[in-house]
Structure 1
C-alpha cells in the first residue's frame, strides 16, 4: 500500500514555477488536496495578543493553475506556506471528502482562522470510502506532527468548537431547510415583505447547527467576490446564491442571533470569535434585542421555546427591563406580551428554531403560542422540518420512545411502549446502583471523553457559590451540582459533578448518566407517572406567575418535569445510562430500558 505524500513549498511565484517545471504530471493533471497557511504571528497591544494564523484548504485537478489563481487574490496571496497532499490512488471524490474532513477538523481545532466558505462541505459516499478514511487519519497525523493541528482527533470532535462549527456537512433535510430558508429570504428581501420562518425538529436533529450554518452562509454570500468562484466545485447546493444580486441584497443587512440560554450563548460566541464573517456581538439575549438602539433586518432565534413570557425573572433588574422594553415597544406595559413579541417587533424577518416539547419551566413561552407560530409558518409555506437524528446513534425512534416511556403525550397519541425497541449498538441501560452508574461514566470518559452525570432538579443546590458540601445524596453516593453554568461539560471539574438541565440543554455528550430523582414517582394504584412537588427544587420551575395571575397545577408541573428528563435522556451520542430513585418507577421503566 502506498502512503500519501505531503509536499511543502513556500507560496510564491518563483517556487511554484520551479515545481511546475519539475516534470511531475501530478502538478498539472492529478487530483490533489492542498493547504495554504500563514505562519506570521504578531504581538498587538499591551497584552501582546497572538494574531491567529489563517488557513485555507482546497482541492484541484491542476494545482499549479489553481495556485496562480490564489496568488491573484489579495487575501490568499498573503499566505506563505503551501502543502500539497498527493496520493497515487486519489480521485475527485476522495479529494472532496478529504478537503471537507480537514476543514471540519481545522475549524474544531481552533488554532487557525479558516478562510473557506462553508457551502462546499460534502460527505458523499463513494467506492472504498472506509479504506480512504484510514488514509485520512494517517494524513492527519502527519499534519499534526508538522504543527498544522494542535489537538488529537478525539479532543477536537469532543469540543464545543467542533460541535458548533459552521463547517458541517448537512443531512438532506438540513440542506433542504437551508436552501428553502435562503431562497424565501431573498424573495422576501426583493419584495420588501416581512416574513416569519420556522425550522422545527426534535432533540438531536441539528437545529443549532443549521442556525450557525445559515449565518455563515449568509456572511459568505455577502462578502463574496468574483475571485471566490474558484471555491465552487459545482456540486454545492447553494452555489446559485453566490451572485451580485444576492450580495447586494445582504450588503447592509443588520443580523442578530438570539440564544436564550447563557451557557450555549457563551459557547457560540467563542465559535463566532474564531470564524471569519461572524462576530460574537451578533449573539444576543432577547433583552439585548429589546434594549438595542437599532431594529434588525433579520433575527435568527435558537431554542425559541426557551424565550420568556411575562413572569418573575431571576433578578429584580430583569423584571424592570421586561416592563421597560414592553412599554417602549408597545406603548404600555402589556403583560400579555412575550419575548417572542419583542423579536417580531424589532425585526423585519425572523427565523425561529423550535421544539415545543423542550419547554422546561413555566416562564418559557406557552406551548399554545409555539403551536400557533408553527401553524402560521406552515400556512405561509415558511415551515421546514428537521427529521434526521444527528446526535443519538439509536435511530430516529429513540426520541419518541423516551417521551412515551416518560408518559409524555405526543401529537400522534401513541400509546406507551411495552418493551424497548432494537436500538442497535446504542448503549441504553438501567442501573440499580447509582454509584455503579457513576463508575461506568468515569470509565467511558477515560475511553472516549465527554461522558457526564446529569439529573433532574430534585435536590436543593446547597453548594451554590462553591460552598463546601454535597447536594445529591443517595445512600453512600455524594456529589455536587455543577459549579458553573457556562460551558460546564468542558469545565475541568465536570466529571466530578452532576449537571442540571440548565447546563446541558443544546449540548452533546458521548455518554450521559441520567439520575431520575424523587420528583418523579409511579403511582401503582392508578398506573401513572406522577410528580412530587416537594421534591422539585427549581424554584423558577414551579412558582406561580403573579404577573399573569396563573397558578401551575401538579399536572402542569409534571409536563415540564417530563420534558426536562426527555431532554436529559437525549444528550448521549453513544449511550444513555439511567438510575431511577423511586423503586416503583424503576420497576415500571425497567422493561423499557436494556439491562446491564
Structure 2
C-alpha cells in the first residue's frame, strides 16, 4: 500500500528483475566512464514500470560510491535533474532520509544547464528523470536559450542517464518522438534499456489492457475478472468524490484528478465543475510538500502538473469536456477547441505541417489521459463531463 508520495522512491529492496536491469545499466556506465567520449543511457518504460525506482537506487549507489576509494564511482561529480517541480520536491525530501544524498544534488534542468555554463562546470554523470518533459525548443521566459535540454545536458557530462516514455509527452514545447531523440543521440555512443514489468497497478492483465485501450480512445467491455482492483464508473462526480474521501480515510493517498477543459468562471477561480461537484483544479503550487500529500488536497482536483510520476492508492479521474463520444465508431475523440490550457499547443519547430499539428494535439490529450488513468495502485474511478461519453461508460 502506498501511504506517502515518498514511499515508492525509498524502497529498501529491488525485485530480481530490477536488480538485473540495474546491474546491466551499471556495467554500461562503468565501461563508458573509461572512454573519452560523452555517452548516453536511455531507460524506456511505460507508466508504472519502475523507472523512477531504478533511477533512485542508481543515484544512491553513485553518490555513495563517490566517498568510497574502492568504488568505480569514487571522486565523481554527479547531478540529478527532473523538469517537474512536484517530483523535484519528493527527491529533495528523499535526500533528507538517505545519508549519501544532499538536497543540492537535485536541480531543474534549466538551472543546472545555466549554472554549469556560468561556472564552467562539467560533471561525470547526470541522471535525468522524466526525460520526456525536457524542453525541445528555446524558452526565453525561463532563460533557456538553446535548442533542447537533452543535447545541452549531454554536453555537460561524461555519461547521461535519461528516462523516456513517449506516451507521457504532454506539451508542444516538450515535444519528443523517437526521430527527435535519435537525432540528439546520433553523435554519441548510447544504449537503450527497456523496462516492461508493471509495478504500480495491482490489477490483472485484463484490467491493464482495458485501461490502456481507454487511454487510446478505445472503449472495451469491462473485464469479468478484476482481481482485487477496484474499477468503477460513476454517473455523478460528487458521488465519486465521496467514495474517494472514504478510501482516503481508510488507506490514504486517494485523490480526485481531471484533465483540462473546464472554463474559468472568474479571474481568480479555476474549478472543475460537474453536476453538483465543484472543486479547485490545482495546476501547480509552490508549497514544499507535494500536492498529493497535503491533507487539504482531498478537496482539490489534481492535474498532470501535480500528479505525473506519483502513485496513488485510489484515483478518481474526470474526463473533461474535450473528451467526447463518437457514436458512429464507439470510441473517444478529442475536441481540441475545448482544451482550455492552450499552453500545451504552442508552436514547435519540430511540427510545421498543419495535419501533423492536429495529430499532435490529439495525441497529447490522450497522453494526458494515460497519465491520469495509471495513477491508482489499488483502484480507478471514472466519470466524464460529456453526457454521451458518461452514459456510454455507464453502460459498461
TM-score, structure 2 as length reference:
0.89
Partner of 2:170: 360
| 556 and 452 in structure 1: CA distance in 2 versus 1, 3 angstrom threshold | same
Residue in structure 2 matched with residue 583 of structure 1 by the alignment? 387
SS at match of 1:511: strand
Is the CA contact 1:356–1:371 (under 8 Å) kept in the aligned structure 2?
no
Matched, 1:348 2:348: no
| SS, match of residue 12 in structure 2 | coil
Corresponding residue to 2:14 among 170, 176, 180: 170
Q: In structure 2, what is the equivalent of residue 561 of structure 1?
A: 365
Alignment pair present for 1:159 and 2:4: yes
Q: Distance in 1 between matches of 2:291 and 2:233?
A: 25
What are the Cα deviations for residues 108-140 of structure 1, in whole angstroms up to 9, with x where unaligned? Answer: xxxxxxxxxxxxxxxxxxxxxxxxxxxxxxxxx
Counterpart for residue 197 of structure 1 = 41
Work out the number of aligned pairs and report it: 388
Q: Distance in 2 between matches of 1:478 and 1:578?
A: 16
Shift of 1:407: 2.8
Gaps of 5+ in 2: none
Contact 2:38 2:154 in 1 (8 A): no
Note closer, same or farther for the CA distance 1:170–1:395 as it changes in structure 2 (3 Å cut).
farther
Q: How does 1:210-229 map to 2 (within 5 A)?
A: 210-224=54-68
Q: Within 5 A, what are the aligned runs for 1:238-317?
A: 244=70, 247=71, 249-291=72-114, 292=116, 293=119, 294-310=121-137, 313=139, 317=141
Q: Is the 8 A contact 1:199 1:383 kept in 2?
A: yes
Q: Which residue of 2 aligns with 1:387?
A: 196
State the shift of 1:400 in Å: 4.2
Higher Rg: 1
Closer, same or farther: CA 174–578 of 1 in aligned 2, 3 Å = same
Q: Does 1:424 align with 2:227?
A: yes
Per-residue deviation at 1:194?
3.0
CA distance in 2, matches of 1:550, 1:278: 46
Partner of residue 82, structure 1: none
Determine the C-alpha separation between the residues in 2 that align with 1:587 and 1:555: 27
Q: Using a 3 Å threshold, how does the CA distance of structure 1 residues 483 and 193 change in structure 2: closer, same or farther?
A: closer
What corresponds to 1:10 in structure 2?
A: none
Confirm whether residue 489 of structure 1 aligns to residue 270 of structure 2. Answer: no
Mean Cα deviation higher: 390-399 or 287-296: 390-399
Q: Under a length normalisation based on structure 1, what TM-score does the superposition of the two structures give? A: 0.60
CA positional deviation for 1:383: 2.1
* Change in CA separation of 1:439 and 1:446 when aligned onto 2, cut-off 3 Å: same
Question: Deviation per CA, 1:428-473, whole angstroms, max 9, x where unpaired?
Answer: 1111111111110011111111110000011145678xx4x56122
2:314 alignment partner, SS class: strand
The Cα shift of 1:419 comes to 4.4
1:453 and 2:256 aligned: yes
* CA RMSD, 1 decimal: 2.8
* TM-aligned CA distance change 1:443 to 1:317, over 3 Å: same
In the alignment, structure 1 residue 502 sits paired with structure 2 residue 324? no
CA contact (8 A) 2:40 2:185 kept: no
Closer, same or farther: CA 488–370 of 1 in aligned 2, 3 Å: farther
